[in-house]
Amino acid sequence: MKKSTLTKLLKLVLTTAALGWLYYQIDWEKTLPLLQRAHWGWILLAFLVYNASQFTSTFRMGTHLKAVSIRESFPFLTQLYYRSMFFNLFLPGGIGGDGYKVWLLRKRHQSEYRLLLSALLLDRGSGLVAITFLIFVFAGFNSRALTLLPFSSYGFWALALAVLVGGGLIYGLFFPTFKRVYARTFLLSLLLQSLQIMVLLLLLQSIGSQHSRVEYTLIFLGSSLASLLPLTVGGIGVREFIFLKAADYLPIESDQAVLASLLFFLINALSSLVGAFVSLPDRPVASDLEK
């Protein structure tokens, strides 16, 4: 059996196991009534905000590409991004989508693989820096985090500052070509994560949950990091597992947390389906290139 086939089989097994575990862990007698009473206006707004976050991510990707003289129009990059999101529904940790971006951009511009890989690696890396930064910032405002972990508020905020500076040092020392775009892409990453946090809060609002917002935000940010691990297909099950386990330590309702997480995944999946209808040329045309 080929290694790639074995890897896909393992992902399928892990995904099935995660879904099965979730099915038996969720209290459906509490969860289904929440879904039946959900306010779909809030869910629609969450859908719109989620896609606004994806446009922000597209703009961040374009900023990294410009640093290596790859210029594409925003409409083209948006289609490319949604196409890669579609691939990510079936492949772990965004690897498939990034691979498609590298392949297509390489064909269109004959650029070095090293530069393309660096641009897309840093595009993800700036997101990780922003998520970690926000985790430490929010932890500094959370009394339960201050109780569970041996840091004061100032300690958490010092860690957030260290993450910010550390990200800049990595750009400057190892990726000097991208040094000048670090501040801009970090700010875009903060905006992106803020919009995604807003999506979560809107989904919680839709099912009537109006408390422990900082706790939900912290868990959501942590689950965003974990969902990048190539363990399950499309990352499904990872967020929900973390929300369920976090309910043992933080004052959140596990049924509300898991339902909001599942709704978040469904919004992601529905948005990603747009990519199924996108067909991109492997050679640039005038309308694709940024003026």
Identity of the residue numbered 81 = Y
- Do residues 28 and 262 lie in contact, with contact meaning Cβ atoms separated by under 8 Å? no
Quote the distance between the C-alpha of residue 101 and its chain's center. 17
* Sequence-ordered list of residues with C-beta below 8 angstroms from that of 152, at least 6 positions apart, any chain: 146
pTM: 0.86
Angstrom distance (rounded) from CA 225 to CA 128: 7
Angstrom distance (rounded) from CA 49 to CA 20: 30
- Do residues 199 and 264 lie in contact, with contact meaning Cβ atoms separated by under 8 Å? yes
Got the DSSP string for 47-65? Answer: HHHHHHHHHHHHHHHHHHH
Angstrom distance (rounded) from CA 97 to CA 86: 8
Angstrom distance (rounded) from CA 105 to CA 280: 11
Distances (CA, A) of 22 to 17, 224, 231, 254: 9, 18, 15, 11
Angstrom distance (rounded) from CA 25 to CA 274: 32
The label of the residue with tokens 């386990």 reads 245
Q: Render each residue's pLDDT in the chain as its tens digit; 291 residues.
A: 555 566 556 656 655 665 565 555 555 566 667 677 789 999 999 999 999 999 999 999 999 999 999 999 999 999 999 989 888 776 655 566 888 899 999 999 988 889 999 999 999 999 999 999 999 999 999 888 778 777 889 999 999 999 999 999 999 999 999 999 999 999 999 999 999 999 999 999 998 887 888 999 999 999 888 777 655 555 566 777 788 788 778 788 877 888 888 889 888 888 888 888 888 876 666 556 555
- Do residues 200 and 268 lie in contact, with contact meaning Cβ atoms separated by under 8 Å? no
Angstrom distance (rounded) from CA 243 to CA 220: 8
Angle at 95 between CA 118 and CA 50, to 5 degrees: 95
